[in-house]
Amino acid sequence: MEGANYFDIDRNCSMKKGTLVIFDDGDRVIVTTGERSVRFIPVSGKPINEPVAWYGPIVMNTQEELRIAFSEYQNGTFIKQRGPKKH
């Protein structure tokens, strides 16, 4: 998100750049701004009910997977290239 904006109708809580807003179940989101414009990315999905291990830009399921991911990142092997799909 860029700028500072409100994500609640009562304007009780101003959000700033780098903020993640998590909403409960609902059917709409109302965004209001002041004089400056706002840019944000809405993301939606179903919970997968799996554990989360997160550090910096990498998210895995366990601390061990996270350790391996950072090791692979430092070695230049984190991104795996796959060949074209066979039909």
- pLDDT confidence of 13, banded at 50, 70, 90? low
Residue 3 has pLDDT above 60, yes or no: no
Q: How far apart are CA 27 and CA 60, in angstroms?
A: 29
Backbone angles phi, psi at 70, to 5 degrees: -70, -35
Q: What's the pLDDT at 50? A: 93
Q: Rounded to an integer, what is the distance from CA 34 to the centroid of its chain?
A: 25
Q: Is 80 a residue whose pLDDT tops 90?
A: no
CB distance 50 to 62 below 8 Å: no
Question: pLDDT of 24-44, one tens digit each?
Answer: 777 777 777 778 777 788 888
Provide the whole-model pTM.
Answer: 0.47
Q: Are 3 and 36 in contact (CB under 8 A)?
A: yes
Residue 7, pLDDT score: 59
